[in-house]
């Protein structure tokens, strides 16, 4: 039997090295990157931006809704646009979970997707549109502009049960820290991402317990500033309309700024999870670090830290490369 010439046989260590290099190349191609669509769909980000701007001009509550949508998508099973699915074959979709109650802005994502499908069919994922729309919403609210790494692909799973462990407004700080840690997010991430409540509103449903049946002992939450309690109760009367809405950031609900942290520090936090940030020594110290009088000179920057945290959050559980799919319509699997 003929044998191969030794000179033509690739040494095992060379073959191994080439295999490793090939694997690393595949991994590098699968990573998110800023400007991912610069060649395949160069107008992708400007299209999303124009759709968000148009929506916000007719409804000023849109930016807060889109920012919340990005968080709710990422924090469940990763930033894969699973939150957008309307129906599935076997189970109720993720968006029907109680923890997602009141989510809005999905129609804005649909409009952006329709325009992108006309310009660049089958190229831009719904997951990336959600992330880009959140950034544009922050900017429209006079918050920081930042670069969004893109290249996400859309997931093929959307189950209501996956949202069962969502962070909740009634969670303790220990519970919130544990849930954030499961997603690779730190205590500082918890504080600054909670700071996204600087824009938007909440329904009275989410604070009714805090106002009238706080545990332990019943009554109202004693950490609410006595000057603030009557104001909250007048907007959310006991037994009144639980769907009535009030600003999360008293006095500054349309501007992305640090007022939310100052409100939390002063006992003017609206929802329990925000208020609890100042009842824990470690998260309290983080809030105080941003509000210290010397902050502008030597302290941390809330805006810079927010950008780092939201970009970090936007990488949770992403699908890249050949994983998942690029949906034709964001509300349905292909």
Catalytic annotation, residues: 72
Across-strand partners of 34? 149
User: In sequence order, what DSSP letters do the residues of 125-136 get, joined into one string?
Assistant: -HHHHHHHHHHH
Query: Does 80 carry a binding-site annotation?
Result: yes
Query: Does 257 carry a binding-site annotation?
Result: yes
Query: Does 299 carry a binding-site annotation?
Result: no
- Number of residues that make up the chain: 334
User: In sequence order, what DSSP letters do the residues of 213-264 get, joined into one string?
Assistant: BPTTTSBS-TTS-TTTHHHHHHHS-TTS-TT-EEESSTT-TTS-STHHHHHH
Query: Does 162 carry a binding-site annotation?
Result: no
Yes or no: say if 311 and 303 are a contact pair by the CB < 8 Å rule.
no
Yes or no: say if 176 and 273 are a contact pair by the CB < 8 Å rule.
yes
Query: Does 161 carry a binding-site annotation?
Result: no
Query: Does 59 carry a binding-site annotation?
Result: no
Query: Does 78 carry a binding-site annotation?
Result: yes
Query: Does 197 carry a binding-site annotation?
Result: yes
CA–CA distance, 48 with 132 (Å, rounded to integer): 7
Contacts 24+ apart (CB under 8 A), 231-234: 232/207, 232/270
Instruction: Give the H/E segment covering residue 295.
Output: helix 295-298
**Rounded to whole angstroms, what are the CA distances from 304 to 274, 300, 311?**
20, 8, 11
Query: Does 13 carry a binding-site annotation?
Result: no
Query: Does 110 carry a binding-site annotation?
Result: no
Query: Does 60 carry a binding-site annotation?
Result: no
- Alpha carbons within 13 angstroms on the beta-carbon side of residue 114 total 8
The token duo for 199 is 């824009």
CA–CA distance, 201 with 191 (Å, rounded to integer): 18
Yes or no: say if 32 and 149 are a contact pair by the CB < 8 Å rule.
yes
Which residues make up each annotated binding site for heme b? 197
**Which residues are annotated binding-site positions?**
73, 76, 78, 80, 82, 94, 167, 197-198, 249, 257
Where is the binding site for substrate, in residues? 167
Q: From the annotation, which residues make up the binding site for Ca(2+)?
A: 73, 76, 78, 80, 82, 94, 198, 249, 257
């Amino acid at each position: 039997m003929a044998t191969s010439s030794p000179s033509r046989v690739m040494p095992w260590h060379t073959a191994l090295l080439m295999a490793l290099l090939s694997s690393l190349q595949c991994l590098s191609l699968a990573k998110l990157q800023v400007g991912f669509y610069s060649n395949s769909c160069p107008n992708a980000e400007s299209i999303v931006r124009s759709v968000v701007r148009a929506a916000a001009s007719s409804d000023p509550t849109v930016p807060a809704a889109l920012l919340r949508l990005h968080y709710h998508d990422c924090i469940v099973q990763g930033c894969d646009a699973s939150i957008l699915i309307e129906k599935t074959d076997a189970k109720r979709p993720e968006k029907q979970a109680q923890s997602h109650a009141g989510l809005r802005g999905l129609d804005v994502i649909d409009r952006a997707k329709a325009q992108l499908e006309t310009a660049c069919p089958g190229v831009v994922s719904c997951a990336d549109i959600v992330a880009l729309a959140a950034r544009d919403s922050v900017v429209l609210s006079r918050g920081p502009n930042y670069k969004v790494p893109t290249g996400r692909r859309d997931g093929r799973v959307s189950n209501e049960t996956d949202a069962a462990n969502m962070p909740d407004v009634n969670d303790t700080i220990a519970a919130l820290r544990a849930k954030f840690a499961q997603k690779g997010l730190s205590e500082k991430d918890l504080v600054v991402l909670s700071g996204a409540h600087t824009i938007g509103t909440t329904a009275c449903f989410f604070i009714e317990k805090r106002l009238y049946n706080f545990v332990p002992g019943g009554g109202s939450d004693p950490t609410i500033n006595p000057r603030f309690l009557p104001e909250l109760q007048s907007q959310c009367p006991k037994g009144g309309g639980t769907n009535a809405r009030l600003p999360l950031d008293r006095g500054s609900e349309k501007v992305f700024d640090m007022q939310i942290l100052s409100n939390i520090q002063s006992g003017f936090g609206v929802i329990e999870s925000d208020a609890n940030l100042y009842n824990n020594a470690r998260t309290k110290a983080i809030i105080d670090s941003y509000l210290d009088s010397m902050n502008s000179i030597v302290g941390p920057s809330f805006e810079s830290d927010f950008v780092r945290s939201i970009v970090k959050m936007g990488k949770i559980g992403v699908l890249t490369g050949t994983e998942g799919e690029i949906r034709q319509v964001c509300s349905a699997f292909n």
